[in-house]
């Protein structure tokens, strides 16, 4: 336990390999919106499983989750 | 006075029955035999113009992590909706990683085509044919339309076709090298022996090289670097489109034989001399 720190902001998740803070009871969709991402343009993997778009509003992020946010880029 | 020559070009209409040919892949009829990549363009606007100039019906993209620290445009906004999107599995070093990337690409909701690319080496970017075969086997079962990028090899290509690959994409030279069709002899054999289209992918640096692939009977050519890094990528896209069409026409027309000695175009008699 870290002394003096507000526990409600102490939730960490790994996003694209980086440790990132998130709010308690935050849904995946809400997290994406907060990051300024257009939901239609990205694909998600939550803990190595693809999370289909229909489930983003119901899925609540958990401490220690690993999230991959993926999109298309140029390639040959 | 009668005209010296009786016919005007407008008098005769040539209908070339041989040109009624389309490339059928994965249930789609493709009018263009030019597959275009989208990497390395200066910006998306230029890429978009090049795609339109190329008349390509199939366009490749790659799958990557979103950079949360920098806001960039989304490439999909610049790719016409009537082209087939063929994501590649670049970044995959083995079959499992390729399958994972294919799943992510499909989840994006842009169709089920996938170009399998499994590359364990970063210097020459040469593909691992065995891992590629494993990825084909897994993805065909899941109803993907699978086009493998591979190191030219007839036996391996046959196995890939048996596993369900709808086309085979042998490399002409290392990716992005613009060195041309260095693997010509093997690719020729593959064209002759395989029951699916052979699409030369990687290494094609100039329209003339793309035309050469098509003259050999390849089903299509994929180019990216050669177009994207040209001084005028839009004009180069158009040049590739024309070269590929010309090469295809030449293949259908059947090229004349090659011989060591000359063969005069006019009779070797009736010369204006006495001896």
User: What contacts B25, CB < 8 A, 6 or more positions away?
Assistant: B58, B145, B147, B166, B167, B197, B219
pLDDT over 50 (residue A4): no
Check residue B20 and give its pLDDT. Answer: 60
Chain B residue whose CA is closest to A74: B39
pLDDT digits (tens, 9 = 90+) for A49-76: 999 999 999 999 999 999 999 999 999 9
Domains of chain B (ranges, CATH numbers):
22-253 (3.20.20.70)
Check residue B147 and give its pLDDT. Answer: 98
- Cβ of B39 within 8 Å of Cβ of A76? The answer is yes
Residues of B taking part in catalysis: 115
Q: Label residue B3 exposed, middle or buried (CB < 10 Å: 0-12, 13-18, 19+).
A: exposed
Chain B residue whose CA is closest to A41: B74
N residues, chain A: 76
Check residue A1 and give its pLDDT. Answer: 44
Query: Where are chain A's structural domains?
Result: 7-69
A73 interfacial to chain B (CB closer than 8 Å): yes
Check residue A2 and give its pLDDT. Answer: 47
DSSP state of B262: -
Query: In the numeric block, which tokens belong to residue B187?
Result: 């690719």
DSSP state of A26: -
Name chain B contacts of A43, Cβ cutoff 8 Å.
104-105, 107-108
- Cβ of A72 within 8 Å of Cβ of B76? The answer is yes
- Cβ of A76 within 8 Å of Cβ of B37? The answer is yes
pLDDT over 70 (residue A7): no
A32 interfacial to chain B (CB closer than 8 Å): no
Check residue B14 and give its pLDDT. Answer: 77
**Phi, psi for B247 (deg, rounded to 5):** -65, -40
A75 interfacial to chain B (CB closer than 8 Å): yes
Check residue B80 and give its pLDDT. Answer: 95
Nearest neighbour of B38 by CB, restricted to A16, A50, A75 = A75
- Cβ of A50 within 8 Å of Cβ of B103? The answer is yes
Check residue B18 and give its pLDDT. Answer: 61
Q: Identify the CA nearest to B105 among candidates B137, B147, B153.
A: B147
Nearest neighbour of A69 by CB, restricted to B65, B90, B103 = B65
Task: State how far the Cα of B39 lies from the Cα of A75, in Å rounded to an integer.
Answer: 4
pLDDT digits (tens, 9 = 90+) for B212-260: 999 999 999 999 999 999 999 999 999 999 999 999 999 999 988 889 9
Task: State how far the Cα of B27 lies from the Cα of B23, in Å rounded to an integer.
Answer: 10
Ranges under pLDDT 70 in chain B: 1-2, 17-20
Look up the CATH architecture of domain A7-69.
Roll (3.10)
**Closest chain B C-alpha to A6 CA, distance in angstroms:** 25
């Amino acid at each position: 336990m870290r002394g003096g720190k507000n526990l409600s902001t102490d939730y960490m998740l790994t996003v694209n390999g980086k440790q990132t803070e998130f709010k308690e009871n935050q849904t995946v969709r809400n997290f994406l919106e907060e990051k300024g991402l257009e939901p239609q343009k990205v694909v998600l993997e939550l803990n190595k499983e693809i999370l289909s778009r229909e489930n983003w509003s119901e899925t609540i992020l958990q401490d220690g989750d690993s999230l991959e946010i993926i999109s298309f880029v140029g390639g040959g | 006075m009668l005209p010296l020559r009786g016919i005007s070009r407008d008098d005769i209409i040539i209908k070339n029955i041989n040109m009624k040919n389309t490339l059928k892949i994965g249930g789609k009829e493709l009018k263009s035999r030019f597959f275009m990549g989208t990497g390395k363009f200066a910006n998306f606007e230029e890429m978009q113009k090049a795609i339109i100039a190329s008349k390509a019906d199939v366009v490749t993209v790659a799958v990557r992590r979103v950079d949360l620290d920098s806001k960039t445009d989304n490439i999909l906004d610049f790719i016409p909706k009537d082209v087939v999107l063929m994501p590649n599995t670049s970044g995959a070093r083995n079959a499992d990683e390729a399958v994972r990337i294919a799943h992510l690409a499909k989840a994006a909701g842009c169709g089920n085509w996938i170009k399998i690319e499994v590359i364990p080496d970063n210097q020459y970017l040469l593909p691992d044919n065995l891992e590629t075969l494993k990825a084909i086997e897994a993805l065909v079962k899941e109803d993907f339309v699978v086009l493998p990028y591979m190191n030219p090899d007839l036996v391996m290509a046959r196995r890939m076709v048996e596993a369900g690959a709808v086309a085979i994409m042998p490399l002409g030279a290392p990716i992005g090298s613009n060195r041309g069709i260095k693997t010509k002899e093997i690719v020729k054999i593959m064209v002759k022996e395989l029951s699916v289209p052979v699409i030369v992918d990687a290494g094609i640096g100039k329209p003339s090289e793309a035309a050469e692939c098509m003259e050999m009977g390849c089903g299509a050519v994929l180019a990216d670097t050669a177009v994207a890094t040209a001084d005028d990528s839009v004009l180069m896209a158009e040049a590739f489109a024309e070269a590929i069409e010309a090469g295809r026409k030449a293949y259908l027309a059947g090229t004349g034989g090659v011989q060591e000695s000359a063969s005069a175009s006019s009779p070797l008699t009736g010369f204006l001399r006495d001896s």
